[in-house]
Amino acid sequence: MELSDTQIIERTLGGDTDAFNLLVRRWERHIYGLTLRMLGRDDEAKDATQETFLSAYRNLSKFRGEAKFSSWIYRIALNICNTRLRGRSRFVISIEEQREESGFEPVADTNDLGDNIQQQQITLHVRRALQSLPAEMRQVIVMKEYEGLKFSEIADILGIPLSTVKTRMYTGLSEMRKRLERLREAI
């Protein structure tokens, strides 16, 4: 029978420190996905993932069983991402935002390209469009769209009202629609 997150935490705190690696293996894909989509850079996302699990291990005794482990570790990961995003140069972000807000220029006539290349193009533009969103909208979209969390869970993780989560989701989707509209026309 598979151990629950809470059982693994109890074992880890009880001295079986290797048990924590079970949690790492179980959640690393989710945390990496979250950090990559929040930060947009592979190497930085890998560092943030490592940092998240290290922080979780060090603070495991502070984890209260009332909340789900997933909510707790998502919160740690988001805090780490937000710290890294705040540390980035404002100048670089503003240039990126200016470029993204004007829409996207497809690099070539995509009708002539293979499906694979076309998908890569879409992925690239989605990635850039997502990066150009304000972090508070992006984190809601990422948690909902890629992590499949319920709105109430997102509200719990972020510590904000449910209605705020839904408003951010709506605004975020509207912004993504604007940014991706030209790409859709091109393909």
Partner 1 sequence: MSYTDKTPNCNMHEAMVSYLYDEASVEECRQVEAHLVECRSCKEELEAFHRVRGMLQQWQIDDLPVVRVETTARRSFFEVLRELFTLMPVWAKATGAVAALMLVLAALGTEVSIGKQGFSLSADITRSNKRSASDAEQIRVDLRVMVNDMILASERQQKDELTMKLVALESQLQSAHQSDLVRLAASIEDQRARIKTIERDIDRREGLNLADILFSELTNDRDERRTDKKIGD
How far apart are the C-alpha atoms of 167 and 143, rounded to whole Å?
14
Using the minimum distance from each CB to partner 1, give the nearer residue, 11 or 75. Answer: 11
The secondary element (H helix, E strand) that includes residue 176 is: helix 162-186
State the nearest-atom distance from the C-beta of 183 to partner 1, in Å. 8
Interface with partner 1 by CB under 8 A: which range of 2-10, 22-30, 84-92, 97-105? 22-30
The secondary element (H helix, E strand) that includes residue 15 is: none
- Distance, first Cα to last Cα, the chain: 48
State the nearest-atom distance from the C-beta of 90 to partner 1, in Å. 26
**What residues numbered 63-92 form the site for partner 1, per CB under 8 A?**
none
**What residues numbered 28-47 form the site for partner 1, per CB under 8 A?**
28-29, 32-33, 36-37, 42, 45-46
The answer to whether residue 185 forms part of the interface with partner 1 (CB under 8 A) is no
Interface with partner 1 by CB under 8 A: which range of 10-18, 62-70, 80-88, 109-117? 10-18
Question: 181 with 103: CB under 8 angstroms?
Answer: yes
How far apart are the C-alpha atoms of 183 and 169, rounded to whole Å?
21
How far apart are the C-alpha atoms of 151 and 163, rounded to whole Å?
9
Residues 6+ apart with CB under 8 A from 101: 132, 179
Residues that bind partner 1 (CB under 8 A): 12, 15, 17-18, 20-21, 24, 28-29, 32-33, 36-37, 42, 45-46, 49-50, 53-54, 57, 119, 122-123, 125-127, 130, 141, 144-146, 150-151, 163, 166-167, 169-170, 173-174, 176-177, 180, 183-184
